């Protein structure tokens, strides 16, 4: 009874699933990574082409319109600047979840009121996860794009309100599983999920974004996998669980790097503003230095580790940093970069910005590689990073970030910190690093200050 085309379609799906797995496998090394993208593209084109053969399709007009319109929107989204990658990623989580939620909704109304209990359970999971990911990701994108206030907004009983909302959505889902004919409840379930997504992101501040984006990534993948159960599509289950697994691993990494428990992350209970523990900064003495002095110290060094943070991204300083890297390397200084997992606004954010500035990737060290290097480092140059270098996380049990793994820049012979002013960072935590005897504060805009150092080095030092 099955038309031959059915087999063709299934075969394209199997090949696509294999190619998707290979795509991620090849992504493990920068050498093979681009082949991975290629594999993903071929898999996608195959699967879409196979699907278009499906005998049940009666009308191609809307398909063509949808595919063309999607491609037209997709091209500019693929060509945004590298600094806009975090918000673009959040937006794409929203789009992916939107697709899943819409398909789930259409499936519900096609089948209702005859939806078997298991089908209704996964369908509910699909649209609840999908719905909250749509609005949650839009909120995250809005905050990252600075359309929405980045400041976390908290109020009393926030977690209770959020959990209650989620509980109501789940209760409706249970009701629908038992009585799918209660179709009128369906819009409420989706509606609550959509509102929950907004409420979930309201208390999130900028520094929590790497965790949140990873978590939303995981939700988007899981909702797609649930959609695969509903449609009985193995390919979708594979792609969804790969995406879900990836988001999950990244969320765990990020929460470890911020020393938050995973339950803390799962319940979205991050972002509590930690106002306690900040002793009002009575002006403690700091040592500061001029660009000339900084340039002199850097050119006298044998080994320099640059520690970038979100401040570098905001100031767009990565290209100036590249010039500094070039000059110092030419002088025979060994320059490397130490990158904390949560530096920036999404996992791997700093690596992409530095790669964009043409810094070779073998000079980029993650935290585990960088930390053993600091005791042999002459100069650690911190550019726009704060909490991830705060030694209080190691030593001060009273500090709100106590226990968070940090980059041990304070172990370097000299630490130089480029910073606009002495204002504390995102979490409002004072950083004892700044008051150490081996720390020099370089006050100014990251891009301008690195630019001045570069001018000093290229002017004064000649071309040795």
Q: How far is the CB of 399 from another protein (least distance, A)?
A: 25
Judged by CB, which is closer to another protein: 220, or 412?
A: 220
Judged by CB, which is closer to another protein: 197, or 341?
A: 341
Integer-rounded Cα radius of gyration of the chain: 25
Q: Does 325 bind another protein (CB under 8 A)?
A: no
Residues of this chain, 378-437, that bind another protein according to CB under 8 A = none
430 is catalytic: no
Q: How far is the CB of 85 from another protein (least distance, A)?
A: 6
Q: Does 190 bind another protein (CB under 8 A)?
A: no
Q: Alpha carbon 158 to chain centroid distance?
A: 24
From the list 303, 362, 368, the residue with the least C-alpha distance to 335 is: 303
* Tokens describing residue 49: 């082409």
Judged by CB, which is closer to another protein: 366, or 445?
A: 366
Torsional sign, CA 246, 252, 257, 258: positive
Judged by CB, which is closer to another protein: 37, or 171?
A: 37
> What does each C-alpha distance from 110 to 74, 103, 250, 363 come to in angstroms?
29, 10, 36, 55
Active-site option among 387, 408, 410, 430: 387
Residues of this chain, 110-139, that bind another protein according to CB under 8 A = 110, 116, 118-119
Q: How far is the CB of 321 from another protein (least distance, A)?
A: 15
Q: How far is the CB of 59 from another protein (least distance, A)?
A: 5
Q: Do the Cβ atoms of 246 and 24 come closer than 8 Å?
A: yes
Task: Classify 365 as helix, strand or coil.
Answer: strand
Q: How far is the CB of 111 from another protein (least distance, A)?
A: 10
Rounded-to-5 percentages of helix, strand, coil across the chain: 65, 5, 30
Judged by CB, which is closer to another protein: 196, or 325?
A: 325
Residues of this chain, 76-95, that bind another protein according to CB under 8 A = 76-80, 82, 85, 88-89, 92-93, 95
Q: Do the Cβ atoms of 83 and 316 come closer than 8 Å?
A: yes
Among 185, 267, 272, 348, binds another protein (CB under 8 A): 348
Judged by CB, which is closer to another protein: 6, or 396?
A: 6
* Contacts of residue 137, Cβ cutoff 8 Å, sequence gap at least 6: 90, 91, 93, 94, 97, 197, 216, 220
Q: In terms of residues, how long is the chain?
A: 464
Q: Does 15 bind another protein (CB under 8 A)?
A: no
Q: How far is the CB of 410 from another protein (least distance, A)?
A: 22
358 phi and psi, to 5 degrees? 70, 25
Q: Does 158 bind another protein (CB under 8 A)?
A: no
> What does each C-alpha distance from 309 to 60, 90, 345 come to in angstroms?
49, 20, 9
Q: Do the Cβ atoms of 351 and 306 come closer than 8 Å?
A: no
Per DSSP, the chain holds a count of helices (H) and strands (E) of: 17, 6
Among 6, 14, 15, 51, binds another protein (CB under 8 A): 51
Among 5, 7, 73, 284, binds another protein (CB under 8 A): 73
Residues of this chain, 229-268, that bind another protein according to CB under 8 A = 229, 231-247, 249-250, 253
| CB neighbourhood size of 229 (10 A) | 19
Among 67, 266, 300, 448, binds another protein (CB under 8 A): 67
The strand pairing partners of 443, in sequence order, are 419
Among 8, 14, 44, 289, binds another protein (CB under 8 A): 44
Q: Does 160 bind another protein (CB under 8 A)?
A: no
Active site residues: 387
């Amino acid at each position: 009874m099955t038309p031959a085309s059915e087999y063709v379609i299934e075969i394209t799906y199997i090949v696509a699933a294999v190619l998707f797995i290979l795509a991620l496998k090849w992504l493990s090394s920068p050498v093979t990574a681009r082949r991975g993208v290629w594999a993903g593209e071929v898999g996608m084109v195959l699967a879409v082409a196979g699907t278009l053969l499906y005998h049940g399709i009666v009308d191609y007009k809307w398909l063509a319109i949808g595919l063309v319109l999607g491609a037209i929107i997709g091209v500019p989204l693929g060509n945004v600047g590298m600094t806009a990658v975090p918000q673009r990623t959040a937006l794409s989580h929203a789009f992916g979840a939107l697709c899943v939620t819409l398909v789930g909704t259409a499936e519900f109304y096609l089948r209702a009121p005859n939806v078997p209990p298991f089908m209704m359970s996964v369908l509910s999971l699909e649209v609840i996860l999908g719905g909250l990911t749509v609005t949650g990701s839009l909120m995250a994108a809005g905050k990252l794009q600075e359309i929405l206030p980045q400041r976390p907004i908290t109020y009393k009983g926030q977690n209770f309100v959020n959990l209650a909302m989620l509980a109501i959505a789940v209760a409706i889902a249970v009701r629908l599983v038992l009585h799918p004919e209660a179709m009128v409840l369906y819009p409420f379930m989706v509606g609550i999920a959509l509102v929950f997504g907004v409420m979930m992101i309201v208390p999130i501040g900028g520094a929590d974004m790497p965790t949140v984006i990873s978590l939303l990534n995981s939700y988007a993948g899981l909702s797609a996998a649930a959609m695969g159960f509903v449609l009985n599509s193995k390919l979708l289950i594979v792609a969804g669980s790969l995406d879900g697994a990836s988001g999950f691993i990244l969320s765990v990494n990020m929460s470890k790097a911020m020393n938050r428990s995973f339950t803390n992350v799962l319940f979205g209970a991050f972002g509590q503003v930690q106002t306690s523990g900040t002793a009002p900064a009575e002006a403690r003495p700091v040592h500061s230095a001029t660009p000339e002095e900084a340039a002199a110290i850097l050119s006298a060094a044998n080994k320099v580790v640059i520690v970038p943070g979100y401040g570098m991204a905001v100031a767009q300083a990565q290209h100036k940093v590249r010039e500094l890297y070039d000059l110092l390397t030419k002088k025979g200084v060994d320059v490397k970069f130490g990158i904390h997992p949560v530096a920036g606004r999404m996992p791997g954010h700093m690596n992409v910005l530095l790669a964009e500035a043409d810094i070779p990737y073998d000079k980029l060290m993650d935290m585990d590689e960088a930390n053993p290097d600091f005791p042999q480092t002459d100069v650690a140059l911190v550019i726009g990073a704060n909490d991830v270098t705060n030694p209080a996380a190691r030593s001060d049990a009273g500090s709100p970030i106590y226990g968070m793994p940090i980059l041990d820049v304070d172990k370097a012979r000299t630490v130089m910190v480029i910073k606009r002013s002495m204002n504390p960072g995102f979490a409002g935590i004072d950083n004892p690093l700044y008051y150490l005897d081996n720390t020099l504060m370089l006050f100014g805009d990251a891009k301008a200050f690195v630019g001045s150092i570069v001018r000093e080095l290229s002017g004064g030092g000649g071309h040795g």
